[in-house]
Amino acid sequence: MRIIVQPDPFDMGAEATAFTATAKGAGAIVTFTGITRDNAAGDLQAMEIEHYPGMTERALNDMAHQAMTRWQLIDCLVIHRHGRLLPNDPIMMVATAARHRADAFAAAEFLMDYLKSRAPFWKREITASGTDWVAPRDEDEAALKRW
Amino acid sequence: MIDILYFAWVRERIGLPRERLETNAATVADLIAELSAHEDRYAAAFADLSALRVAVDQELSDFNAPLTGVREIAIFPPMTGG
């Protein structure tokens, strides 16, 4: 289990390769990478992500432990960036390893749903006309109910 | 003494990322009421409790959480990670 919270970019291919290399006995690796998306107007200059140092790591660790307990996982990885990101930059990544794909997919979805609404990160969009905090989406909160 | 941390637009409205206070408030809600009565910037930040979340000693909690023995609370908008 690895939890990484950092401002620096990461190489999702290299991370997936390294994760796979140590996941002994795995028959399935699921990876998800979240990318900085342009806004509806198409004028996003940057995204700034604020977080709560200390609580962020605790919350992510707790989510990863829950995932390891609820599904037959061999390993999991969570990487989340903070600070200033540009459009198309990878923001975060989740990887899960299991003997079979159902566990790997379900655990990855669980981790993503929890990351969206229960890890202390706040996104702010920076455009030519100013800055705006990203509003939470009702769908993201509703998604937690299935777990 | 208790440390209070603010994030995102709550931090911007209050104008501080954190402060240390002496309080006799029994719960998070009491502390919020005490601060709101004290200065307008707190009243503005805390006007709509449904738009706020709270962590007590770095665990998500609620406004009824008691402050006895608590070292750090944080008040912030709903999280938007991922």
Tens of pLDDT, residue by residue over B3-62, are: 999 999 999 999 999 999 999 999 999 999 999 999 999 999 999 999 999 999 999 999
Domain hosting B43: range is 2-76
Q: What is the pLDDT of residue A41?
A: 86
Using CB atoms, which residue from B7, B58, B78 is nearest to A50? Answer: B7
- Residues on chain B touching A136 (C-beta within 8 angstroms): 77-80
Instruction: Confirm whether B82 is domain-assigned.
Output: no
Q: Looking at this protein, which amino acid is placed at residue A36? A: T
Are the Cβ atoms of A92 and B74 closer than 8 angstroms? no
pLDDT digits (tens, 9 = 90+) for A71-130: 999 999 999 999 999 999 999 999 999 999 999 999 999 999 999 999 999 999 999 999
Q: How far is CA A36 from CA A16, A114, A137, in A?
A: 19, 18, 16
B residues 4-43 closer than 8 Å to A (CB): 5, 7-9
Comparing C-alpha atoms, which of A67, A99, A87, A48 is closest to residue A2?
Answer: A67
What is the rounded average pLDDT for all residues in chain A?
96
Q: How far is B26 from chain A (nearest CA, A)?
A: 23
Q: How far is CA B61 from the centre of its chain?
A: 11
Helices (H), chain A: 12-22, 55-70, 101-118, 138-143
Give dist(CA A83, CA A47) in Å, integer: 8
Residue scoring higher pLDDT (A60 or A42): A60
Using CB atoms, which residue from A118, A120, A140 is nearest to B7? Answer: A120
Q: How far is CA A95 from CA A14, A79, A98, B53, B76, in A?
A: 12, 9, 10, 28, 28
The length of chain A is 147
Q: What is the pLDDT of residue A5?
A: 98
Q: What is the CATH number of the domain that holds B17?
A: 3.10.20.30
How many domains would you assign to chain B?
1
Q: What is the pLDDT of residue A40?
A: 84
- Ordered domains of chain A (ranges, CATH): 2-146 (3.90.1170.40)
